[in-house]
Amino acid sequence: MTKTYSFPTQADLDQVKLNWRRYLLPAIHPEGVKILLWEVGIFLCIDLLIQLMNVVFNICIPSFWWIGVPVWIFSFYFFRNPTRVTPTDKNLIIAPADGIVSNIKPVVPPAELDLGDKPMTRISIFMSVFSVHVNRAPVTGTVHRLKYRPGKFVSVADKDSEDNERQEISMIAENGQKIGVIQIAGLVARRIFCPLKEGENLKAGQVFGMIRFGSRLDVYLPEGVYPKVLLGQVAVAGETVLADMTDIKTNKKGE
């Protein structure tokens, strides 16, 4: 069957803002806004205390802002939530995280996610402290299962890290296929944010959570679906195509 292509309208083109704000002043995740406000309050208190000490003890301690401002700018950069344009094909599985594709291997998914007991291809994406840490839905569909597991905080760059703290998520895509997504806390990460509920509907590319300060996301592909990314490739959340579920039909026919 030949696919048709709908060319963008002028209204669509008007929504694409190719200006400096899109790159230098991206939106901030709501969790980040809270922390940024807390930092400003803490920095103000510290600086006022320093000024008070200077007056009372007649000393000259430099202002705290020469440290506070760079820290605040890094926090702003860390919690950024940049604009992403997600492919609309319902058969595509999109990267849920920014980072390096650090591992691709067959792994039996966690039993709690109801994905079966056979090995599924697992794609791991490692996020450094410099990556965008906002996580996005890999497909349009429904949240099927959720399971939070407390655990350790060790490096997740190139290990299976089965003992790490994690949030396990399974989704049922529009085409009926089940997808597994796991947020894994790393050596520095100390909090996984995932406010999802079972039965909740998500659109591909929609923000659903984040992990603070270095971590990893695993994606379990349906049986018969093969990755379209390579080890070492840089993935962009909400845009990079990890796999195409139409491959299932091709594999069943033995083509």
- The residue assigned the tokens 């007991």 is 117
Whole-number percent of the chain with pLDDT over 90: 50
Strands 27-28 and 80-81: antiparallel
- The residue assigned the tokens 């003992």 is 163
Lowest mean pLDDT among 22-26, 30-34, 46-50, 173-177: 22-26
Contacts of 106 (CB under 8 A, 6+ apart): 119, 120, 121, 122
Torsion sign over Cα 25, 31, 35, 41: positive
CA-CA distances (angstroms) from residue 108 to 118, 132, 181, 220? 6, 28, 13, 9
In the predicted structure, residue 10 carries a pLDDT above the cut 80: no
SS3 for 148? strand
User: DSSP letter string over 97-134?
Assistant: S-EEEEEEEEEPPPGGG---SS-EEEEEEEE-TTS--E
More confident residue, 251 or 133: 133
Please count the CA atoms within 13 angstroms of the CA of 167 that sit on its side-chain side.
19
pLDDT digit string, tens, across residues 211-242: 876 688 999 999 999 999 999 999 999 999 99
SS3 for 49? helix
Secondary structure of 175-201 in HEC code, one letter for each residue: CCCEEEEEEEECCCCCCEECCCCCCCE
Residues in the chain: 255
- For residue 57, what pLDDT is reported? 84
In the predicted structure, residue 252 carries a pLDDT above the cut 70: no
Contact in structure between 106 and 196 (CB atoms under 8 Å)? no
pLDDT digit string, tens, across residues 165-199: 889 999 999 999 999 999 988 665 557 889 999 99
Which residue segments constitute the domains of the chain, with CATH numbers given? 1-83 (no CATH), 92-252 (2.70.70)
User: DSSP letter string over 210-247?
Assistant: EESSSEEEEEEPPTT--BS--TTPEE-TTTSEEEETTH
- For residue 18, what pLDDT is reported? 62
- For residue 212, what pLDDT is reported? 75
Q: What is the mean pLDDT of residues 153-172?
A: 71
Query: Phi then psi for 230, rounded to 5 degrees?
Result: -120, 155
Residue 119 CA to residue 156 CA, distance in Å, equals 20
What average pLDDT does the chain have?
85
In the predicted structure, residue 96 carries a pLDDT above the cut 50: yes
In the predicted structure, residue 50 carries a pLDDT above the cut 70: yes
Residues labelled as active-site residues: 215
- For residue 98, what pLDDT is reported? 95
Query: Phi then psi for 243, rounded to 5 degrees?
Result: -165, 165
Whole-number percent of the chain with pLDDT over 70: 82
In the predicted structure, residue 255 carries a pLDDT above the cut 60: no
- For residue 253, what pLDDT is reported? 41
Q: Is the pTM of this model over 0.95?
A: no
In the predicted structure, residue 88 carries a pLDDT above the cut 60: yes
Contact in structure between 126 and 102 (CB atoms under 8 Å)? yes
